[in-house]
Each structure stands twice: as C-alpha cells, then as structure tokens.
Amino acid sequence: MHKDTHCAVVIDCWMNKLGEINFENRPSRYPAFVEDVRKICGTKEIVFGLEDTRGFGRNLAAYLVGRKFEVKHVNPAYTSTVRLANPIIYKDDSYDAYCVARVLRDMVDTLQDAKHEDIFWTIRQIVKRRDLIVKSNVMNKNQLHSQLAYSYPSYRKFFAMIDSKSALCFWENYPSPEYIWNTTPEEIYHTIKPVHQALKIQRIHEIISMIERDGDTRKDYQPERDFIVRNIVKDIRHNKELISEIDDELRKLIPLTGYKLHTMPGIDLVTEAQIISEIGDINRFPDSDKLARFMGLAPVQFSSAGKGKDQRCRNGNRALNAIFHFLAIQMVAVSASGKPRHPVFREYFEQKVKEGKNKPQALVCVARWLVRIIYGMMKTKTEYRPYEKVDDKN
C-alpha cells in the first residue's frame, strides 16, 4: 500500500506466482483492479491480504469489504520476517507484495479481518494532529527560552510559566528591556492586568528590579531579535487556540464510542483519546491478556533445550505501553502530605515490592492491573467503579 500506487501479487495455494497488478490509488481504478484479479484467478476463491501501515489502503479495504470479499490485515512484522528469511535480502514493491501473499496463505485462519471503523480512525487522526501541534509548541518554547536569555537573564523568575497568558502578553509587548525603560510600571500593570486579574503592582516593581540587577543587555540588531520573540509568541498563542479547538472536537467524538474511561481517576480527555486511538475497537481482543500482549506488557518466554525464563517484552505498541506506564505512576503516587492518591493501587504496589520485585517491575504489575480494569470498562462500556476494601470482622 503506497500513497500513489498499489502493487498486488496473486499466488495459488502452492505459492506459485500467477500474476502481478500495479494500479493507481484512486477509487475509480478499483473496479478494474478487481476485474484483473478475477481474470487471473478464474473460478478460484479469492482472499485479499493488505499490508497497510499508514492508512493508504483504507479506501481499497472499504471497497473490497463492501463487495463481500474476504479481506485480511497483514501485520508488517510478518512480512519482514518472510523477507529476512532469505540468504540474500532484497526489497522492492513486487517482492514485498509476494511476501504479503505468502503470509496470507500461511496464516489466513489467524489473521484479523480488515475492519475499519470510521470513528476510531477519525479519533486517531485528530490525536495525531494534536500531538504534532504539541511538539511544535515545545520547539517554540525552547526557542523562546533561548531568545529571552539574551535580553532577560532572570526571565525564569518573572512568571511561573513561560507560556502563561500573562507571560506571553509581557514578552509580546516588552520583548527587551528597552521597552521597559520607555514606559512606567503603571502602564505595564494596565497592559497585563486584562489577562491576569490577580496581578498586583508590587509584582511589576519586583520584575523591574530583577531587570535592573541583570545590567545592560543591549546588543546590535535588537529590533530584529525583538521581532523573533514576538513572532514566537504569536505562534505559541495560535497553537494553543488550535489545541483548544481539537479538544472540543474530541469532546464531541469520544462519547459516540460509548467508552467512559474519563470516569476513572487519572484519565483526562487527552489520555482517554490516546487510549481509544491506539486500541480502537476493543472487540479485536478476546480478553485482557491479548490486549496486554498487544502493548508489550505481557512477559515473553525465552528458552532452549527446556531451559529458560520469562523476560520483559520490548516490542508491541510502545505508544500504548507508555500511556499505561505513566498512568500506573499516577495511580501509585503519594501527595506532598504523604497521602496516597489511590490507596488500593498504592497498597498493591507496595505488596509487590515486599514480594521481592523492584519498583519498575511493581509498576508493570500495576499497569497490568489497569489493563484488566480498562479492558472491562471498554468491553462493557461502563463507568469506573472504585474498589473498596472491606474488613472482615465478625
């Protein structure tokens, strides 16, 4: 599956290559492709296998499923294994398609059907877009840190966050100390006050005092560097508006899935959207163990000659693995006062540590427990019901 063209190879049950078809990735070309396949296969039963890693074959899969063909999804890892099994390794579209066909022939009974739920696919696209904007804002903030360090050496002490509303307003109106000396503290106060209602004039005087202690930071081409600061501020503010719009769209879409993961403490809108985008239809997994294996939380057996042990899996869906890892950290966290956020999960974590596991291993156990809980919530589409420990007293 490619962006512009697709390559298909037809084989029989004996792995004999019957034909090869190259066609454009346009819906108008799909009927001709199906007719070409029928001419090659004749009266034989036809099963399609698609290796679609970036969604370029989505339209073709929907077309074939709509025409009542049996369509299977071929994991690229299987194709890569077949390709690497040769003494001389080479790669081109034709041979890749042949490897896909071989995997389809050998694993047709175990491969998943190519089902594409539009709502899960749409959520995944929106989450990807949001992640891209967040990464862009991280780069913008790093650039802003670099620029401000030249003009305001003590800029980190001005505001709690460099990208807060009050901070962005300050950087935009006063990108360098020259603008501070040309105005008064009262004017600065009235400039920032609309975006920071709790601001006090004393804080403005403190900022000016820190700028005075920094000394003279004037350099050549200061107006051009002030332009850079203002440009970065505009980009950060615009990206924040885009993120807010995306969050509004997610709030509309997620309830349509029927999942209620946000009812579980520690799962906000973004985390819920990320989990749904990576898992999709929960019915793909017959039980929580399969879901844990999918994300690489289940141990893997490494043995030979009857000797071996279970080891940590470093494969699987690493994005989903990371989500559950950080979710487990939140569940076992302890507040500044020493009170656990979630006593049941904290108790389970400490129990695993007492059993001899180190803390990373105990976190994996907590994450595995979370997988079972979230799997049940998604399978039954129910809200989170906290577990309450009952003391047995007679």
Q: Residue 240: what pLDDT?
A: 97
Give the number of other CB atoms < 10 A from CB of residue 221. Answer: 8
Give the number of other CB atoms < 10 A from CB of residue 65. Answer: 16
Helix, strand, coil share of the chain (percent; to 5): 60, 10, 30
| Residues contacting 224, CB < 8 A, separation 6+ | none
C-alpha distances (whole Å) from 394 to each of 132, 167, 388, 390 are: 58, 61, 18, 12
Helix axes 318-332, 343-354, angle to 10 degrees: 100
Give the pair of three-digit tokens for residue 145: 């840190």
What value does the mean pLDDT take over residues 48-58?
85
What value does the mean pLDDT take over residues 321-350?
93
C-alpha distances (whole Å) from 241 to each of 122, 130, 131, 170, 248 are: 20, 11, 14, 19, 11
What value does the mean pLDDT take over residues 29-44?
94
Is pLDDT of 309 > 90? no
What value does the mean pLDDT take over residues 90-106?
93
Element (H, E) at 247: helix 222-257
114 or 252: which carries more pLDDT confidence?
Answer: 252
Domain ranges of the chain: 5-116, 122-250, 261-300+313-380
Beta bridge partners of 113: 72
Q: Residue 394: what pLDDT?
A: 47
What is the per-residue pLDDT across 285-308, written as a single tens digit (0 to 9) for each? Answer: 999 999 999 999 998 888 887 787
Beta bridge partners of 138: none
Is pLDDT of 35 > 80? yes
- CATH architecture, domain 122-250: Orthogonal Bundle (1.10)
Is pLDDT of 1 > 90? no
| Residues contacting 178, CB < 8 A, separation 6+ | 218, 222
| Cβ–Cβ under 8 Å, residues 331 and 348 | no
Q: Residue 97: what pLDDT?
A: 94
Q: What percent of the chain has pLDDT over 90?
A: 78
pLDDT band at residue 64 using 50, 70 and 90 as cut-offs: very high
Q: Between β-strands 70-73 and 300-304, what pairing exists: parallel, antiparallel or unpaired?
A: unpaired
Q: Residue 378: what pLDDT?
A: 97
Residue 71 CA to its chain's centroid (Å): 27
Is pLDDT of 389 > 70? no
- Mean pLDDT, the chain, rounded, equals 92
pLDDT band at residue 392 using 50, 70 and 90 as cut-offs: low
Q: What's the pTM?
A: 0.88
CA diameter of the chain: 87
pLDDT band at residue 338 using 50, 70 and 90 as cut-offs: confident
What is the per-residue pLDDT across 359-378, written as a single tens digit (0 to 9) for each? Answer: 999 999 999 999 999 999 99
pLDDT band at residue 11 using 50, 70 and 90 as cut-offs: very high
- What is the C-alpha to C-alpha distance for residues 49 and 306, in angstroms, rounded to an integer? 36
320 or 310: which carries more pLDDT confidence?
Answer: 320
- Amino acid found at 41: C
- Which is it for the CA torsion 318, 319, 322, 324, positive or negative? negative
Q: Residue 34: what pLDDT?
A: 95
| Cβ–Cβ under 8 Å, residues 160 and 175 | no
Q: Residue 390: what pLDDT?
A: 57
Element (H, E) at 304: strand 300-304
What value does the mean pLDDT take over residues 252-267?
94
| Cβ–Cβ under 8 Å, residues 285 and 378 | no
| Cβ–Cβ under 8 Å, residues 267 and 328 | no
Q: What percent of the chain has pLDDT over 70?
A: 98
153 or 393: which carries more pLDDT confidence?
Answer: 153
